[in-house]
């Protein structure tokens, strides 16, 4: 039974393609793990939904992964991580890791003056999850949150560089410039798809020493420790596999996923939740 659990895949889900940033980091940190990724592309974005709706969608995604036999679930969505982990952990008989706490800890570690800005969806900002997570990591750090909802559709449509995303990013950064933050946490897994534009605008508006923190690598590091501590990490020398599931638009998802992950992928499967 233990051997079966070790060889079982790691489940990852997000509302769309943004969670591929987490998959890429997990592949680097845990190259031997099998990963099943579910992108709920039929209902993206989650960030504009009511809390009860987000929890319902998250539960449907998580239960589907459980039926696929995963040994743990990484919630590669800040919106879900802000409102649903407790419910998921109570309802599901397996470990559930979110992205907010690792990202908050990484932000605190990167900050020199304890002035931390967070770009996130409206739902994540409204939840207060990042201020709580930062406060748990440091009582001296302050958080300034800014909802940036347009970054999700821009990422989904592939509009990641150019005049339009630059103007949108600049507008969202204005409150963080006023607050004089020295770290900007990307509080949505879609946002790293616009990393080049975000880095350029943060450097120009807030200075070259201002750090941009992507929680994906922090989550991957904690997932590696978590699996190792519980004896659930695969110890084989063979490389792990990736299985991609979506609820809509498999062709466009596959095209973006291949470019983003840097290699050809197996056929994307469409599932009905």
CB 227 within 8 A of CB 21: no
Query: How far is Cα 206 from Cα 185, in angstroms, rounded to an integer?
Result: 13
Q: Is the dihedral of CA 128, 134, 136, 142 positive or negative?
A: negative
Name the active-site residue from 75, 77, 116, 246.
Answer: 77
Q: Under a CB-based contact definition with an 8 Å cutoff, are residues 245 and 38 in contact?
A: yes
Contacts of 191 (CB under 8 A, 6+ apart): 18, 119, 148, 151, 155, 198, 214
161/147 Cα distance (integer angstroms):
20
Neighbours of 93 (CB within 10 A): 7
Catalytic residue check, 61: no
CA distance 114 to 250: 42
Q: Which of 25, 72, 181, 188 is catalytic?
A: 188
Element (H, E) at 31: none
Is 77 one of the catalytic residues? Answer: yes
Please, which residues have CB within 8 angstroms of residue 44's CB and are 6 or more apart in sequence? 15, 16, 152, 156
- Strands 96-97 and 142-147, by their bridges, are unpaired
Return the active site residues. Answer: 77, 188
């Amino acid at each position: 039974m233990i051997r079966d659990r070790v060889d079982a895949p790691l489940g990852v889900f997000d509302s769309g393609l943004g969670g591929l940033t987490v998959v890429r980091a997990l592949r680097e940190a845990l190259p031997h793990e099998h990963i099943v990724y579910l992108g709920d592309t039929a209902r993206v974005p989650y960030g504009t939904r009511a809390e009860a709706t987000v929890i319902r969608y998250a539960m449907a995604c998580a239960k589907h992964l459980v039926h696929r036999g995963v040994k743990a679930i990484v919630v590669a969505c800040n919106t879900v991580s802000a409102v649903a982990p407790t419910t998921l952990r109570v309802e599901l008989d397996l470990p559930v890791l979110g992205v907010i706490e690792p990202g908050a800890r990484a932000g605190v570690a990167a900050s020199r003056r304890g002035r931390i800005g967070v770009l996130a969806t409206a739902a994540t900002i409204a939840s207060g999850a990042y201020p709580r997570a930062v406060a748990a990591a440091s009582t001296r750090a302050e958080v300034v949150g800014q909802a940036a909802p347009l970054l999700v559709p821009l990422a989904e449509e592939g509009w990641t560089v150019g005049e339009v995303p630059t103007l949108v990013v600049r507008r969202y950064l204005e409150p963080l410039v006023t607050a004089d933050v020295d770290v900007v946490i990307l509080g949505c897994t879609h946002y790293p798809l616009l990393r080049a534009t975000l880095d350029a605008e943060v450097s120009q508006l807030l200075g070259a020493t201002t750090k941009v923190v992507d929680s994906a690598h922090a989550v991957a590091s904690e997932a590696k420790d978590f699996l190792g501590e519980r004896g659930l990490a695969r110890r084989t020398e063979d490389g792990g596999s990736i299985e991609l599931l979506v609820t809509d638009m498999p062709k466009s998802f596959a095209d973006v996923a291949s470019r983003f992950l840097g290699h050809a992928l197996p056929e994307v499967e469409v599932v009905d939740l």
